[in-house]
Structure 1
Amino acid sequence: MLLKALLADDEPNILRNLKTVIPWEALQFEVVGLARNGMQALELVREHEPDLILSDIRMPGMDGIAFIEELRSFDGHSEVLMITGYQEFEYARSLLKLGVSDYIVKPIDYEELAETIGKLGERIRAKKRSKQVRDKRWTSVANLAYEKILHDVLQNYASVQPIYALAEEEADLEQFRYSVLLVDLDGYAQLSLGWDDKERKLWSFAVRNVLQEALSAWPIRYIVLQLREGEWCALVERGKDAPPPTTEECLRWGERLQQEVAVSVKLPVSVAVYPGHVQLGELAQVYKKLQRSMQLRKTQPKALLVCRETEHDTDPGESIWLLTEDLVMGLKQSDGAKTDKALLRLDRIIQSVPEESFERVRPILHFVALHLMREMREIRSIAGEAEERIWRKLELVRSIPDMFDVIGEIVRLALDAAAGRKTSETLMVAAEDYMLRRLGDDFGTQDIADALGISPSYFSLLFKQKHGETFLEHLTKLRMERAKSLLLHSDKNVAQIALAVGFAERRYFTKVFQKHTGELPSEYRDSRKGTAGGNE
């Protein structure tokens, strides 16, 4: 790791010797500037941001002390090594209080100076490596939080103001605009019948990795999320003032995704693209629109479709698809009355379809059945022999009345399964207990859903219905309440408390705490000392 050094001394001979006698290259330093006084040194610091500064104390115009005081007003990371005459020894020692790393007494022993520079270099590199690790960890945490926000917004589980999820002040999500690509694995429901949970997760992980790698061919910011089994959503992010991508660009992205999945995992996918600029609050609506477009317009595998803002489908298929969403929601909520009402309306729509539209409606009903099966698998309502029996019927059924009967059977099986499950209230009590016992652990929706024996998407739905907020928002509130208690009633320092409530990074914890309370952790503790009855 090559570091940058800046040399400052008003004596030309010393300045020349410092540059030529010290083995800078061997010590892995590059000398980026030479200054004859403090003012020149400050200008060079602003220009080059050196890692190490060698400076004389006595210089004309601005001496060493004035230079260091001014330096520390805008630069807190540079290591400073001062050079002083013997008579200024105490003078030099006082500089240590200003953040000077060390000092060398004149006449200069260049071997000693080189050794000191070498040690400082190792210290600087160690600090840089540590910062890189912290920054990487912080970026990872922030990215995971961002992914969770977008996932919940797309699924319509979260509002467009996720206060606690991203703690970076600069991260104003309303400033972003998105182009959306929906990727659907053709024939996934039947293809995955023979897979167990582990195989499904492995295939899902593999496809998502391929999709992420495929988009890396372009200089774009993007994120790939899996919203349900066999379905992924790619969001291409831009600033609100940036021009939206053209339809041709989006189609090229879609074609690349199809090609890479076909080559890497030997599976066919269809892609529906929405080229326009989509705001955060519009993502759920656009996601549903892409789903409808995929199911109503896809006539063969490996389809590549464009969904436009101005599209309006007025045939019976659109009404049937919109009604299907009510049916799915009723099943997820185990609401028999709601599903019965949706089935009755579906029957009326079918009865009113003119004969010339039969050919159009039959495949749409088939897609409705496929959609229901995928959604019920997602919440683990239909599985095993019952699922296989439904698939065999779907392969044989040809008439519209028979297709309607299969849809009705799917609904009955799902409601029967819901009746045999724990109630949502029981599940949410267990979820709260799980969270409270593991506030210091790293866990997510997948872990807690597995512990409850339900799918992550079903868990997220139940959680939002129960608490009126997302899992991440609620978990953060619980962690902040525990942190406030520890600040008032324990002697743990802030870093220890951060770890105790599940934050590996003290910086991230501090930002989230301040977002939640309006105070830094230290301020919160100090302002309440002596009033909490603790052991402060």
Structure 2
Amino acid sequence: MSGADGKFRVMLVDDEPIILRSLKAAIPWDELELEVVGEAKSGDSALKLAREVSPHMIISDIRMPGMDGITLMKELKADQARRLIIFISGYGEFEYAREALREGAFDYLLKPIDHDELTETIARAARTLEKQMADDQMLHSIKVLSLLARERMLTEFIEGNRSPLQHMQWLEDSELEHGYTMAVIQLDHYLRLNEQWSMDEKRLWLFAVRNVLEEWSVQHGGLTVFPFRSGEWVLLFPSLARERQEDIGRDLVQLIKRNTKLSCSVGFSSSMAGIDRLGTAYETAVRALYQRFYSGEEGVFIGTADSVMETASEAGYPKHLESLMVESIRTLHKERLLELFDETRAYIEEHAFSREMTERVLLEMSVVLYRQFEHMKVLFEWSLEELLQELHASGTLQQLMDVIKNHFSKWIAQSRSGQAKDNVQAVMGKAKEYIADNYQKDLSIEEVSELADLSISHFCTLFKGTTGYTFLEYLTECRIEKAKSILLNTDVKVYQVAPLVGYQDPRYFTQVFKKITGKTPSEYREEATSKT
């Protein structure tokens, strides 16, 4: 809100040049950390100038030729309601002054001007501006945190991890209890794009897509939109008929292509009700998207009410084996995965699956397992399409199983090798180094998880497991340790320490400092000084 040098901007308005010169000379503007950015001799010229220089504070005569001070104030406050105006009035203008206060003037002073009194009034106005700015920053922070918490809560429910945020369930029940449809948007060829983009390019592209989707969602009645995994966004709508899903899906594909030149596909869930069904909705939409691998092109794919369980209930899809395989890939346990493929073959033989059904089961299983590698971000030059084509070309069950075992065995081996070269400790070390270099900024977990090239949920798990702290706890500790060093080794005033370590509100900084150290910053410095 203040200028580039941190000063609030002030404009002076009076039709007497001698008063303007007196105000400029007699008030200690630099000491008050204020800057006079313009002068005007009439209400009309003041209005025009104010719209050019955008002052935070205006000191104006109340009676001037043409537009008077009160009319000027009404016009200016229509532009910026929080702009502060101090009026100077003559003894015979008390009714004007009283009306000015009713209309929202900060204060008024009588002529002849007492410069000490005016200086004190201006200082109070500056403190009011500082408080307004702090309140605005706090409201912005609360809004951002509220949005992040909401997205985090929805992510937790989609992933089936309910307990940490169960107490927030009431936030979503009102909009999700009556029925909703989930759309999952995935950028096509994202892994290849991710390799081509620099980190800044990646952030820019993903930010652009999110902006496009958020604007579209607001205009078309979406309940919410947020990124779930890298290159993937979740949109929630009130329940949609299938025809409407197809229309919206095509609209979204064209929207992203038109605005970003990127190709994407959209998968829809069937209608669900209740926040507990978010995980099922996501799985339904993502399984609908698996059809993209068979079609080989971007598109809109619709899930059905029982698409998640239809193969399990109607054809005996080995869901239990799939879950164990996903865990084997997550832990890069090749031997266990190969055992599970053998169990899958036995299961297929036991249930006497047809050639068509066998291929269908193995194709779907391959896509699920491949996506697990995607989520872990350990893929190399691998091609799911190549695997699916080889499966389709295989003539016997033995050949089908050999193809799938060979590919996944090779991929796990390569993942182990890659993990050894760029292990978790190294990645977390890079994240901690980035925090140490940027703790004084408005640092977000999204920014650091992007640096680590991990999804937010995966980063949180690895960071806590490696450091013993959550991201916010670690960042706070880092900031307070730096604050302690500044307090002990410099003469920087206590209130100036807060922005140096990433806190814009000195009062909040003091609360955090005392919570961690047991002392206020002043008490900490005084105690350390008394011991030396």
Instruction: State the alpha-carbon separation in 2 of the partners of residues 50 and 427 from structure 1.
Output: 48
Paired position in structure 1 for 2:41: none
Equivalent of residue 214 in structure 1, options 203, 206, 216: 216
Q: Give the unaligned 5+ runs of structure 2.
A: 1-49, 55-60
The 5 Å alignment of 1:39-58 reads 51-52=84-85, 54=87
Does structure 2 retain, via aligned residues, the 8 Å contact 1:449–1:455? yes
Does structure 1 retain, via aligned residues, the 8 Å contact 2:321–2:344? yes
Paired position in structure 2 for 1:30: 75
The offset of 1:416, in angstroms, is 1.4
Instruction: State the alpha-carbon separation in 2 of the partners of residues 282 and 511 from structure 1.
Output: 38
The offset of 1:427, in angstroms, is 4.5
Paired position in structure 1 for 2:365: 368
Paired position in structure 2 for 1:246: 239
Deviates more, 1:368-377 or 1:148-157: 148-157
Question: Equivalent residue of 2:439, what SS?
Answer: coil
Equivalent of residue 396 in structure 1, options 377, 390, 393: 390
The offset of 1:359, in angstroms, is 3.0
Instruction: State the alpha-carbon separation in 2 of the partners of residues 307 and 510 from structure 1.
Output: 53
Instruction: State the alpha-carbon separation in 2 of the partners of residues 205 and 260 from structure 1.
Output: 15
Instruction: State the alpha-carbon separation in 2 of the partners of residues 141 and 401 from structure 1.
Output: 55
Does structure 2 retain, via aligned residues, the 8 Å contact 1:334–1:418? yes
Does structure 1 retain, via aligned residues, the 8 Å contact 2:224–2:235? yes
Paired position in structure 2 for 1:334: 332
Amino acid at match of 1:149: R
Alpha carbons of structure 1 residues 526 and 220: separation in structure 2 relative to 1, 3 Å: farther
Instruction: State the alpha-carbon separation in 2 of the partners of residues 523 and 56 from structure 1.
Output: 49
The offset of 1:506, in angstroms, is 0.5
Asked if 1:305 corresponds to 2:298, the answer is no
**TM-score in terms of structure 1 length:** 0.61
Does structure 2 retain, via aligned residues, the 8 Å contact 1:321–1:368? no
The offset of 1:492, in angstroms, is 4.0
Alpha carbons of structure 1 residues 338 and 212: separation in structure 2 relative to 1, 3 Å: farther
Paired position in structure 1 for 2:106: 80
Paired position in structure 1 for 2:251: 256
Does structure 1 retain, via aligned residues, the 8 Å contact 2:293–2:385? no
Instruction: State the alpha-carbon separation in 2 of the partners of residues 151 and 18 from structure 1.
Output: 59
The offset of 1:395, in angstroms, is 1.5
Equivalent of residue 267 in structure 1, options 259, 263, 266: 263
Does structure 1 retain, via aligned residues, the 8 Å contact 2:328–2:337? yes
The offset of 1:233, in angstroms, is 1.6
Amino acid at match of 1:440: Q
Question: Equivalent residue of 2:106, what SS?
Answer: strand
Deviations 1:172-230 (A, max 9, x none): 675235556333448x45x865884319947756654543343242355633315144x
Instruction: State the alpha-carbon separation in 1 of the partners of residues 148 and 494 from structure 2.
Output: 22
Asked if 1:182 corresponds to 2:183, the answer is yes
Amino acid at match of 2:234: C
**TM-score in terms of structure 2 length:** 0.61
Deviations 1:458-492 (A, max 9, x none): 6455335445775x334434345436635763554
Paired position in structure 2 for 1:291: 286
Deviates more, 1:318-327 or 1:303-312: 303-312
The offset of 1:383, in angstroms, is 1.5
Question: Equivalent residue of 1:224, what SS?
Answer: strand
Deviations 1:220-260 (A, max 9, x none): 5633315144x322246xxxxxxxx2334983654532442
Amino acid at match of 1:485: K
Deviates more, 1:196-205 or 1:396-405: 196-205
Amino acid at match of 1:272: F
Give the structure, 1 or 2, with the largest relative contact order (CA under 8 Å, sep 6 or more). 1
Paired position in structure 1 for 2:472: 473
Paired position in structure 2 for 1:489: 488
Instruction: State the alpha-carbon separation in 2 of the partners of residues 286 and 127 from structure 1.
Output: 47
Amino acid at match of 1:334: L
Paired position in structure 1 for 2:351: 353
Asked if 1:223 corresponds to 2:220, the answer is no
The 5 Å alignment of 1:78-117 reads 80-84=106-110
Question: Equivalent residue of 1:149, what SS?
Answer: helix
The 5 Å alignment of 1:371-520 reads 371-384=368-381, 387-388=382-383, 391-398=385-392, 399=394, 401-420=398-417, 421-422=419-420, 423-425=423-425, 427-428=427-428, 431-436=431-436, 438-440=438-440, 459-466=459-466, 472-482=471-481, 485-486=484-485, 489=488, 491-493=491-493, 496-501=496-501, 503=502, 506-507=504-505, 511=508, 514=511
Q: Give the unaligned 5+ runs of structure 1.
A: 4-13, 34-47, 103-119, 164-170, 237-244
Does structure 2 retain, via aligned residues, the 8 Å contact 1:155–1:284? yes
Alpha carbons of structure 1 residues 266 and 533: separation in structure 2 relative to 1, 3 Å: closer
Does structure 1 retain, via aligned residues, the 8 Å contact 2:269–2:285? yes
Alpha carbons of structure 1 residues 525 and 257: separation in structure 2 relative to 1, 3 Å: same
Instruction: State the alpha-carbon separation in 1 of the partners of residues 191 and 373 from structure 2.
Output: 14
Does structure 2 retain, via aligned residues, the 8 Å contact 1:487–1:525? no
Amino acid at match of 2:413: D
Amino acid at match of 1:153: E
Instruction: State the alpha-carbon separation in 2 of the partners of residues 425 and 99 from structure 1.
Output: 55
What is the RMSD of the two structures over their aligned residues, measured on CA atoms? 5.8
Instruction: State the alpha-carbon separation in 1 of the partners of residues 239 and 454 from structure 2.
Output: 41
Does structure 1 retain, via aligned residues, the 8 Å contact 2:391–2:404? no
Does structure 2 retain, via aligned residues, the 8 Å contact 1:222–1:234? yes
Amino acid at match of 1:183: V
The offset of 1:32, in angstroms, is 8.9
Instruction: State the alpha-carbon separation in 2 of the partners of residues 352 and 469 from structure 1.
Output: 49
Instruction: State the alpha-carbon separation in 1 of the partners of residues 450 and 294 from structure 2.
Output: 36
Alpha carbons of structure 1 residues 345 and 211: separation in structure 2 relative to 1, 3 Å: farther
Asked if 1:149 corresponds to 2:152, the answer is yes
Amino acid at match of 1:350: I
Amino acid at match of 2:214: Q
Does structure 2 retain, via aligned residues, the 8 Å contact 1:513–1:521? no
The offset of 1:343, in angstroms, is 3.6
Does structure 2 retain, via aligned residues, the 8 Å contact 1:494–1:522? no
Does structure 2 retain, via aligned residues, the 8 Å contact 1:82–1:100? no
Does structure 2 retain, via aligned residues, the 8 Å contact 1:378–1:457? no
Alpha carbons of structure 1 residues 276 and 156: separation in structure 2 relative to 1, 3 Å: closer
Alpha carbons of structure 1 residues 367 and 441: separation in structure 2 relative to 1, 3 Å: farther
Instruction: State the alpha-carbon separation in 1 of the partners of residues 234 and 326 from structure 2.
Output: 20
Alpha carbons of structure 1 residues 382 and 522: separation in structure 2 relative to 1, 3 Å: closer
Amino acid at match of 2:85: L
Instruction: State the alpha-carbon separation in 2 of the partners of residues 23 and 94 from structure 1.
Output: 20
Instruction: State the alpha-carbon separation in 2 of the partners of residues 459 and 442 from structure 1.
Output: 19
Instruction: State the alpha-carbon separation in 2 of the partners of residues 487 and 174 from structure 1.
Output: 43
Does structure 2 retain, via aligned residues, the 8 Å contact 1:272–1:305? yes
